Structure 1
Amino acid sequence: MLTEDLTRSGLNLIAQAISIFDADLRLAVCNRPYQAMFDLPDALTETGARFEDTIRHLVLRGEYGPQDDPETAIRERVAQARTFQPHYMERLRADGRWISVEGAPLSQGGWIAVYTDISQIKRQEELLRARSEELSELVLAHAERLSEANRALAATNAALEEARRIATESESRTRQVTAMVPAHIAHMDRDYCYSFSNNQISAIFPGAGASILGRSGEDVLGAETFARIRPHMDRAISGQPQVFEISHPPSGRRIRIALTPDQSGRGAYILSTDVTAEVQSREALAHAAKRAIAAQVTSGMAHDFGNLLTIILGLQSRLARADLAPPQAEDVQATLAAAKRGVTLLDGISALTGARDHRPQPVDLRELLGDLAAMTRPTLGPDIRLTIAEDIPEGRLMLDPGALQDALLNLILNARDALQGRGEIHVTARAAGRWLELCITDSGPGFSPEALKRGTEPFFTTKGGQGSGLGLSMVYDQIKLAGGTMRLANKGGAEVTIRLPWRDATPLLVLLAEDDPNIRAATREMLLAQGHAVIEAENLAEAKRLADLPGLSLILSDLQLGDGSGAELADAPLPLVLMTALPPDAAQRSALTVPVLTKPFDEAELAMALMKVTDD
C-alpha cells in the first residue's frame, strides 16, 4: 500500500495526464491531471475501473464529437485498445482544446497512455500562419509537419526504449535459465568458432576453459575431440540436424551432442550432455542380461559336473599311484591335467554366477605392480619380455587389490597366449585427471573385428577349445564394479585400457570410541595399518569431550557404549560411523541415519565404510 501511495504521489506531480490500464482493460493507476483533463467522476479514477465505462462516459458526453451510433463507437475504441499497439495521435476536443495521446504497451500486458495539452502549441502555429506575410506557406507547412513528426518521434523513441528494456530483460532471463541447465548450450559459426555459450562447457568437457567465445572448437576441446565432432558439424552447417555420441578422450566421459542448423545459415546451435551414467547403466544391463543367461545355462550343469570331476580326479589319482607302463602313465597324467582344467573352468563359472563385492583399501600401486611382475614373469617363458612402467604421484590409492591384480593377471596371460611364445608385453600406469589409467599392450596380431565387438561377452573366445571365454568377461565385471571403464583396441598389437576412479587414500585423524579394550586395540591396528592417526576414547562422555578437537576427520564409535549410545555423537559436526554386533534387523539399528559396520569386520570392510562417509 505504501508503494502504491508513493507512486500516485509521484504521478500527481507530473503536469501531463497519465493512465495505466492492465491486460483486462481495468485501471491500474492514474494521476490527478488525468481526472482534471477529462473531468471524470471519482468512480472512473479508482483502481479497477473499466476502460469501457470510461470510454462510454466520454462518448456520451461528446468528447469525440457527434456519433451516429455511440455503442458502435464505444466497441471500436475498446477493440482498438485490446490490440495493445504503440500509437501517437493529436485530436481536437469538443471544448476546442487540442491534446496529444501517446500510448505504449507494457511487457506485463496492458498499456500506459500519456495525454498532453498542446493547445498553446497549436495557437502558436495558427498565429504564425496568420502573420506569415514574409514566410511562404511551404515553410510553415514544413515547420508544422516537423513539429508533429518530432512529437511522434519522441513517442516512438519511448516505445523503442520500452521494447529494448523488455528485450534486455528477456535476454537476461534466457541467459540465467540456460546457465542453470546441466548441459552445455552454445552456438558455433561457419568458421568453427564459438559465438555463444552458457558457460557450462567445463562441466561437460573437463579441462575446457570457461572463456570460449571467439575461440575455435579445436582450441577449446582439443584436436582429437574436435576431429570426432567436425564431420557432424559440417553436416549441421549445411542444414542437416545431427544427434550423436562421442567418448571424450581426456576424461573418458560419454557425451551426447545435438546439433541444430542455424536458420540464418551462420552456423549451428549445440546441446552437449554427459550421458556417461546412462551409457554405463545400459551396458551394465546388457552385460548382466548376458551373464544371467550364461548363469542360467551353466549353473544347473555345474553341480553335476563338479561331482563327475571329483570322481574322475579320485580314480585318476589312484591310477597315477599304480606302477603303469610309460604310455599308460602318460595317458593318466593327461587325463589328470584335463580334469584339473575342468576344475579351473568350474571356478570361472562360479565367479561368473556368484555375487561380487568391491572391497577397496589403501594400496601402494607400485608395490602391487612389482608383485604382479614377480608373479607372472615365470609363466611367460624365456622369449616373452614383460615391462611395467608407472607415472603416478607418491601415496596410496583406494583400490580393491585382489580384483585389480586378478584383472591384470588375466590380461597378461591373454597377451601371452596371443604371442605364441615370442614377443613383448607392456603394462603402463599413469594418472589421467580424475582417473587411474592402466594400459596393457602386446606385440601380437591384435584383436579380430569380432573380438573387438564381443570380447567382454561371457564364453566368447578366439582360442577354440583352449579357452573358456570367461577371462575378459570377468575383468570387465570387476572394472565396472569399481566404477571404471575398459576399452579394447588395436595399436600395433592388442591394447586393453582400464580406467578406475582416482581416489587418494587420504590419512585421517579418527576418534575411536570403544569400551572393550581388546576390540579397541584390534580396530586401532586396522586404522594404523591404513595410514590413519587415532585418538581413543573409552566411553561416551570422554568421546564427547574429544569430539571438538581441531583436525579430527571423523568419529568411529561402538553403538552400545557403557555409559550411553554412540548414536549421540551424531550431534558433533563430524562424519560418524557406528559399529555393532547387533544384526541388521535389530530394533536399535532401524532408526539410525549414519553408516553402521557389523561386527566382526575386516580391514577392507572398515576401509570401505570410511571411504563412503568421507566421499559423502
Structure 2
Amino acid sequence: MKTDALIQAGLNLIGQALSIYDSDLKLAVCNARLAEMFDLPDRLTRPGATFEDTIRHLAERGEYGEIDDLDQFVRLRVEQARAFEPHYMERLRTNGQYISVEGAPLPQGGWVTVYTDITEVKSQEQLLRTRSELLSEEVLARSEELSRTNRKLAATVSALEEVQRELTEMEARTRLTTEMMPAHIAHVDSAGRYTFSNRKLSSVMPGRPQQIVGRHISEALGTDAYSRVLPHLQMALAGEQSTFEFTDTGSSRRIRAAFTPDESENGVYILSMDVTEETQARAALQQTRRREMAARLTSGLAHDFSNLLTIILGMQAKLARMELPAEADPLITATLQAARRGGDLLGRIADITAHRAWRPEPVDVAAFLTDLHTLAAPSLPSGITLQVDASIPAPILLDSGQLQDGLLNLILNARDACGESGHIRVEAREMRETWIDFIVEDTGPGFSTAARRHALDPFFTTKGDAGTGLGLSMVYDMAKLAGGQLSIDTPERGARVILRLPLRRAATPAPGGLVLLVDDSPDLRATIRDMLTSLGHSVIEAASVDEALALAQGLPEIAFILSDISLEGGRLGTDLVDALPGKPVYLTTSLPPSDPRHVAAASKTAVLPKPFSAAELAKFLGQKEPAA
C-alpha cells in the first residue's frame, strides 16, 4: 500500500494528464492533472470507473461540441477503444484550449493515454504566422507539419522502445527455459552451422563442447555421430521431419533426436535427449513380454511331454523288473537315460519361460566375484586356473542370484572349451558411468564363425549330445531382462564373452541414521520397525505417499526411505523415487515379479520381496546382520 501511494504521488507531480484503462475498459489509475483538465467528478477518477461513463460525462458537458445522437456517439467511442491502436492527435477543446492526445497499448492489455496542454505552442505558431510576412505560406505549413511529425515520431520511438524491452525480456525467458530443459536444443542453418544452442550438448553426449554456436555440426558431434545423423539432417533440410534413435559410440549412451525443418530460413531445429535408462527399461519390459509369450506357447506342449516321459519311465521301470534276455538291459538303461535327459531339458525350458524378474539389490562386486571363485573353482580340472578381478568399490544394484547363475554358466562353458588345461579370467569394470561389464575370457580355441553367429540361439550347441544349447541363450535372456546385452568377441587367442548390465549405484545407508518407514499396515510397520532398530536406526512412520512427503520435507536429516509399493491413498511408493531425488528410496512388495508395478519399480531402484527376515533386510541394505 505504501508503494501504491508513492506511485500515485509521483504521477500527480507530472505536468500532463494521464489515464490507464485495462482490457475491460475500466480505469486502472489516473493522476490529479486529468481531473483538473477535464473537471471530472471523484467517481470518474477512482479505479474501476468505466470508460463509457467517462465519455458520456464529457459529451454531456460539451467536450465534443454539438452531438445529435448521444448514445450512438458513446457506443462508437467505446467500440474504437476496444479495437485500440497507437495514435497521436491534436484537437481544440470547446473552452479554447489546445491539447495533444497520445495513446499506446500495453502488452498485458489495456492502454495508457497522455494529454498535454499545447495552447501556448499553438499561440506561438499563430503569432509566428501573423508576424512573419517574409515567410511564405508553404514554409509555415511545412514547419507546422514538421512539428507535428516530430511529436508523432517521439511517440513512435517510445512505443518501439517498449516493444524492444518486451522482446529482450522474452528472449531472456526463452533462453532460460532452454537451459533448464534436460535436453539439447539447437538450430543449424542450411550449411549445417549452429546459429543457436543451449549448453546441454555435453551433458547429453559427454565429451562434446558446450560453446558450439558458429561451429559445423560435424565438428561438434564428431565423425561417427555425424555420420549417423547426416541422413536425417538432409531429410530435414529437404522439408521432412525426422525422429530417430542412435547409440553414441563415444559414450555408449542411447540418444533420441528430433529434426524439424525451419522453412523460413531453410535450416533445422534440433532436439536431442539421453534415453539410455528409458531404453534399458524398455528392453527389460520387451524381454518380459517375450518370456510370457514363450511360456504360453510351450506350457501346453511341456505338460503333454512331461506326461509322456512319466509313462515311459514307468514302463521302463516295469521292464527292468522283468526277466528279460541280457541284451535287453542296455536298451532299458539307454531308454531310462534318454527319458531323464528329456526331463532335464524340460526343466531348462521351464527356467527360460518362467515368470522371473530382475530383482536388483546392493551388491559388493569384489566380494561377489570372490564368492563366485569359491563356488566355481572345485568344478574345474586341476590344469585350469580361474582368476577374478574387480576394482569397483561402491555397491551396485544387481540381481546377485541371476548374475551368479549366468556367470557360472559362462565359466563352465569356458571350462569345456579349454579341456584339461588353460586359464579363465572373470573381470568386472565400469563403462562410462552407464554400464557395468562382466567379461569372461578363456584360452580355449575360441568361437568359429558359425558358432559365433548362432551361439545365442536356443538349442544350438557345439558339444554334440553332451550339450543342450540352452546355456548361452539363458544368459542372453537374463541380460535382456535386466535391460543389458550379451556380446561375443574373438581375440587373438581364446574367446571373450561380455555381459553388459545397466550401472545403478546403490547408496549404502550408514547405521544409526533416521529411516522413514512407509507402509499402510500398522502391524507390518511394527515388525519392520523392530528390524530397523536392531540395525541401529531410528524410525519414523507414514502410511501414504502424501504423508511421507510431508515428513521428508520437514526432516532433512532422514537418511533413507523404506517403502512398500502399494500404499493407501492411491499413489504408489514408486512415486517417492521421483519426488525425492536427493534421498535413497528402497522399496518392498508382495506383488509377483511379473506384475507391471513390480517391473516398473525394479527399473528405478532396489526392490525387496516380502516376506523377508531381519538378516535378509540387512543384506538388502548392505549392512551387517544384527547379532543374535
Same fold (TM over 0.5): yes
CA distance in 1, matches of 2:504, 2:614: 23
Instruction: Assess if the C-alpha contact under 8 Å between 2:370 and 2:388 holds in 1.
Output: no
Q: 2-side partners of 1:497 and 1:167: how far apart?
A: 54
> Where do 1:451-600 residues align within 5 Å?
470-480=470-480, 483-486=482-485, 498-503=500-505, 508-509=510-511, 555=537, 573-575=557-559
Alignment-mate amino acid for residue 358 of structure 1? R
Q: Is 1:445–2:427 an aligned residue pair?
A: no
Match of 1:407 in 2: 406
In 2, Cα distance between equivalents of 1:446 and 1:195: 50
CA distance in 1, matches of 2:191, 2:439: 37
Q: Which residue number in structure 1 is paired with residue 34 of structure 2?
A: 34
Deviation of the 1:118 alpha carbon: 1.2
Structure 1 residues 153 and 464, CA gap change in structure 2 (3 angstroms): farther
**Cα pair distance change 1:490/1:389, threshold 3 Å:** same
Larger displacement relative to structure 2 (49-58 or 401-410): 401-410
After superposition, the Cα gap between the structure-2 partners of 1:34 and 1:169, relative to the gap in structure 1 and judged at 3 Å, is same
CA contact (8 A) 2:394 2:505 kept: no
Aligned to 1:165, the other structure's residue is in SS state helix
- Equivalent position of 1:167 in the other structure: 167
Q: C-alpha displacement at 1:103, in angstroms? A: 0.7
Deviations 1:379-414, CA, capped at 9 Å, x for gaps: 9xx9xx999897855676554444224324545777
Q: Cα deviation per residue 1:50-101 (whole Å; 9 max; x = unaligned)?
A: 1122222323433234445444433332222212311111222222222111
- Summarize the Cα distance change of 1:480–1:147 in structure 2 as closer, same or farther, 3 Å threshold: same
Counterpart amino acid of 2:505?
Answer: R
* 8 Å CA contact 1:225, 1:249 repeated in 2: yes
Aligned partner of 2:501: which letter? Answer: R
Relative to structure 2, which stretch is displaced further, 167-176 or 209-218?
A: 209-218
Q: Distance in 2 between the 1:141 and 1:290 partners?
A: 89
- CA gap of 1:511–1:168, structure 2 versus 1, over 3 A, is closer
* Counterparts in 2 of 1:333 and 1:34: CA distance versus 1, 3 Å: same
Which stretches in structure 2 are left out of the alignment for 5+ residues? 516-528, 542-551, 568-584, 589-607, 624-628
Aligned partner of residue 474 in structure 1, secondary structure: helix
Q: How does 1:72-83 map to 2 (within 5 A)?
A: 72-83=72-83
Whole-Å Cα distance in 2 between the matches of residues 109 and 511 of structure 1?
Answer: 56
CA drift of 1:14 comes to: 0.4
Residue of structure 2 equivalent to 1:525 = none
Q: Name the SS for the 2:109 alignment partner.
A: coil
Residue 117 of structure 1: how far off its partner (Å): 1.0
Contact 2:369–2:390 (8 Å) recurs in 1: no
What are the superposed Cα offsets for residues 275-296 of structure 1, whole Å, 9 maximum, x if unpaired?
4555455444443333223323
2:618 and 2:171 mapped to 1: Cα distance?
A: 53
Corresponding pairs, count: 542
Q: Give me the whole-angstrom Cα distance separating, in 1, the residues matched to 2:559 and 2:36.
A: 72
Say whether the 8 Å CA contact 2:513–2:558 is kept in structure 1: no
Where in structure 2 are the equivalents of 1:267-278 lying within 5 Å? 267-276=267-276, 278=278
Deviates more, 1:122-131 or 1:93-102: 122-131
Name the aligned partner's letter for residue 112 of structure 1.
Answer: V
Structure 2 matches for 1:180-329, cutoff 5 A? Answer: 180-201=180-201, 204-205=204-205, 210-249=210-249, 252-276=252-276, 278-300=278-300, 302=302, 305=305
In structure 2, the partner of 1:607 is 619
Quote how far apart the aligned CAs of 1:106 are.
0.8
Distance across 1 between alignment mates of 2:587 and 2:293 = 35
Q: CA deviation at 1:261?
A: 0.8
User: Offset of 1:155 from its aligned partner?
Assistant: 0.6
Tell me, in whole angstroms, the C-alpha distance in 1 between the residues paired with 2:561 and 2:87. 72
Change (3 A) 1:204 1:15: same
How far, CA to CA, are the matches of 2:622 and 2:71 in structure 1? 82
Which is further off, 10-19 or 225-234? 225-234
Q: Do the aligned residues in 2 keep the contact of 1:22 with 1:28 (CA within 8 Å)?
A: yes
Alignment-derived partner of residue 147 in structure 1: 147
State the Cα distance separating 1:317 from its structure 2 match. 13
Alignment of 1:117-156 (within 5 A): 117-156=117-156
Partner of 1:92: 92
Tell me what 2:429 maps to: 430
Q: Between 44-53 and 182-191, report the one with greater CA deviation.
A: 182-191
Distance of 2:247 and 2:536 partners within structure 1: 38
Does the CA contact (< 8 Å) of 1:577 and 1:609 recur in 2?
Answer: no
Partners of 2:284 and 2:483 within 8 A in 1: no
d(CA) in 2 for partners of 1:244 and 1:15?
A: 64
* Cα pair 2:364 2:394 within 8 Å, conserved: no
- Secondary structure in 1 matching 2:54: helix
Q: Runs of 5+ in structure 1 lacking a partner?
A: 514-538, 548-552, 560-569, 579-583, 586-592, 612-616
Structure 1 CA distance, aligned partners of 2:179 and 2:96? 58
Tell me, yes or no, if the aligned pair for 2:452 and 2:488 is still in contact at 8 Å. Answer: no
Q: Quick one: distance in 1 between partners of 2:414 and 2:318?
A: 33
2:347 alignment counterpart: 347
Change (3 A) 1:20 1:305: same
* 2:25–2:51 Cα contact (<8 Å) kept: yes
> 1:505–1:572: structure 2 CA closer, same or farther, 3 Å change rule?
closer
Contact 1:262 1:268 in 2 (8 A): yes
Aligned-partner residue type, residue 163 of structure 1: V
CA offset digits 1:259-309 (Å, max 9, x no partner) = 211122342112334545554554444433332233234445546655765
Hey, what does 1:104 align to over in structure 2? 104
Cα–Cα, structure 1 residues 215 and 419, in superposed 2: closer, same or farther, change >3 Å? farther
| 1:143 Cα deviation after fit | 3.1
Is contact 1:392–1:431 with CA below 8 Å preserved after alignment? no
2:447 and 2:490 in contact (8 A); partners too: no
The Cα shift of 1:446 comes to: 5.9
Output the CA distance in 2 between the equivalents of 1:189 and 1:425.
Answer: 54
Would the alpha carbon gap of residues 507 and 64 (structure 1) be closer, same or farther in structure 2, given more than 3 Å must change? closer
**Equivalent AA in structure 2 for residue 444 of structure 1:** S
RMSD of equivalent CA atoms:
5.1
For residue 40 of structure 1, give the secondary structure of its aligned residue in structure 2.
coil
TM-score, length-normalised on structure 2? Answer: 0.69
Instruction: Give 1:119 shift.
Output: 1.5
Q: Distance in 2 between matches of 1:161 and 1:20?
A: 19
Q: Deviations over 1:331-361 (max 9, x none)?
A: 6775565445324323313323154563643
User: 2:156 is paired with a residue of what secondary structure?
Assistant: helix
User: Is the 2:439–2:496 Cα contact (8 Å) retained in structure 1?
Assistant: no
Task: Tell me how far apart the structure 2 counterparts of residues 497 and 241 of structure 1 sit (CA, whole Å).
Answer: 37
Distance 1:363 1:417, change over 3 A: closer
- Take 1:190 and 1:424, find their aligned partners in 2: how far apart are those partners? 57
The whole-number CA distance in structure 2 between the counterparts of 1:231 and 1:403 is 41
The structure-2 alpha-carbon separation of the partners of 1:174 and 1:84, relative to structure 1 and needing over 3 Å to count, comes to farther
> What's the counterpart of residue 548 of structure 2?
none
Deviation per CA, 1:541-594: give whole Å up to 9, x if none. xx99xx9xxxxx97289x9xxxxxxxxxx999454799xxxxx99xxxxxxx99
Shift of the 300–31 alpha-carbon distance from structure 1 to 2, 3 Å rule, reads same
Quickly say closer, same or farther: Cα 1:55–1:357, change in 2 above 3 A. closer
| Higher RCO, 1 vs 2 (CA within 8 Å, ≥6 residues apart) | 2
